[in-house]
Amino acid sequence: MASDIDENRGTGTSIRTLSRGLAVLQAINRIGSAPMKDIQKACDLPFPTVMRIVQSLANYGLIEREPKRRYYRPTALVQTLSHGYQGDSRLAKIARPHLVELTREVSWPIILSTHVGHSMVIRDSTHALSALTFNEYFPGYASPILESAAGLAYLAALPEEESALILGSIAKMANPDWGNILEDMRQRDILVQVREQGHATRSFNRFTRNPGKTSSIAAAVFEHDRPRGAIALAYFASAMRPEHAVRQFVPPLRACAAAISTELSAIPQDKT
């Protein structure tokens, strides 16, 4: 019995260590380049723990310290973690011309993202095609599902039992901010509202490279009746009030999402 307990403890410790290491690597990949204090804040882990993990990741070559300052950034080696994964390549291929066309119409950048764990991960974006952006975002950048318009749009598009499972999993995380968001969502029936109106909004987005500077509007993308992800339009929070943005951008955004969904549902997967 004692050996079984010891083995379980070791397994639990290993899983926690792996979870923390992945959290630090995701934070650095999301931020792009950051000092230790910003990495620690993004992960919400003890500072000594983050220091040890950062050193380990550097030893493995997944991150590196900038030559002239104490900032840490991902290396090209992190791309090996995604080799062999092609799950969303078809979606991105179909969506790309529609994202480009919408960007040309509205001028603001458009982001395509899909659900992974507790996050929405960018698969494609048109930041490079728009002058109305603070930063360019590349595939792999992740934002918490609860704190992005794309995440809310995706959750609302899922069958209720599936969204409940995801929300239940998030509720078990020791994150007071997420607990407050979940309670607010429950009291205000946020997902019901999003489902009825066909779009989601988020003001003063926190998990960007310029926190609080942008707001976003999102709509789900479907393959047949199944949500595959969401597209979001990001605009400067100081440029217009949310209600004005909704009035101006929701119709073309939903039309774009519908066009992608129609094409995605019409083309058999084995032909792309």
Task: Tell me the pLDDT tens digit for each residue of 109-150.
Answer: 999 999 988 889 899 999 999 999 998 888 888 889 999 999
DSSP 151-192: HHHHHHHS-HHHHHHHHHHHHTSS-HHHHHHHHHHHHHTHHH
Residue 143's beta-bridge partner residues?
120
Q: What angle do CA 52, 55, 60 make, to 5 degrees?
A: 125
Percentage of the chain modeled with pLDDT above 90: 57
- Domain-wise residue ranges, the chain: 2-81, 89-271
pLDDT of 84: 54
Lookup result for tokens 């001028």: 107
Q: Classify 214 as helix, strand or coil.
A: strand
Classify domain 89-271 by CATH number.
3.30.450.40
CATH class belonging to 2-81: mainly alpha
Edge-first strand order for the sheet with 63-65 is 34-35, 71-74, 63-65
Residue 184's identity, in one-letter code, is D
Element spanning 122, H or E = strand 119-125
Q: Classify 255 as helix, strand or coil.
A: helix
Edge-first strand order for the sheet with 142-144 is 142-144, 119-125, 110-116, 226-236, 214-223, 200-202
Residue 52's identity, in one-letter code, is R
pLDDT of 140: 81
Residue 60 neighbours by CB distance under 10 Å? 12
* Dist CA 253 CA 213 (whole Å): 21
For residues 141-165, give the mean pLDDT: 94
pLDDT at 174 exceeding the cut of 80: no
Q: How many CA within 13 A on the CB side of residue 217?
A: 26
| Euclidean distance between the first and the last CA atom of the chain, given in angstroms as a whole number | 54
Distance, CA of 174 to chain centre:
19
* Mean model confidence pLDDT for the chain: 87
pLDDT at 42 exceeding the cut of 80: yes
- CA-based nearest residue to 215, from 234, 239, 199: 234
Distances from the Cα of 10 to the Cα of 4, 7, 164, angstroms: 10, 5, 31
pLDDT at 17 exceeding the cut of 90: no
For residues 65-73, give the mean pLDDT: 87
